[in-house]
Structure 1
Amino acid sequence: MKGTKAQSLRYQVEKWLAPTTPVHVTAFGRTRWGRARYVCVETWQATGSHSLFFFQHEDGYWHVFPPVADTPQWAVWRTGTDG
């Protein structure tokens, strides 16, 4: 089980982008589908700028992938009859 520290956005940003790299929040809000919180952070290095989105899940943990409920779902229905 993860500790409270692993739950924090700061922990995840430092894990993915290195703790000594300055970062800036460039966007934040809620997703359209499931209203989950998201934050986009950007860092600059000699190789250029890098951005990552972090999403808060229902359990309070932050991840770089959206919650399943926030992933757009596609479905196909057939109408009529074949043949």
Structure 2
Amino acid sequence: MAASERSLRELIEKWLDASGAASVRIQLQPSPRRGIRRCVCVEAQRETGVLTLFFFRHDDGFWHVFPPVERPAMKVTMMAA
């Protein structure tokens, strides 16, 4: 199954399966601007310390551990002469 076909829960379980986490805390991160994509922070307590992962929701609706690419946009405005 491709990563883009997995739910957020399945991705979290995949990434934390090998880490041996004793407990997990999940937080939805507030967006600094309206309309920005969602970001979830996952903190897993392990014997060696805390493991923190961020999952980002992309335009296609799938979750990934890398942020979506922000492409520059050009805007045309009319200026008064």
TM range (shorter): 0.5 to 0.7
Q: Aligned equivalents of 1:16 and 1:27: distance in 2? A: 18
- Displacement of 1:29: 2.8
Displaced runs of 4 or more, over 6 A: none
Q: Aligned equivalents of 1:3 and 1:54: distance in 2? A: 12
- Displacement of 1:28: 1.8
Q: Which residue of 2 aligns with 1:47?
A: 48
TM-score, normalised via structure 1 length:
0.65
Matches within 5 A, 1:1-83: 2=2, 6=6, 8-18=7-17, 21=21, 22-30=23-31, 32=33, 35-69=36-70
Q: Where do 5+ consecutive residues of structure 2 fail to align? A: 73-81
Q: Aligned equivalents of 1:13 and 1:38: distance in 2? A: 13
CA RMSD of aligned residues (A): 3.0
- Displacement of 1:68: 0.6
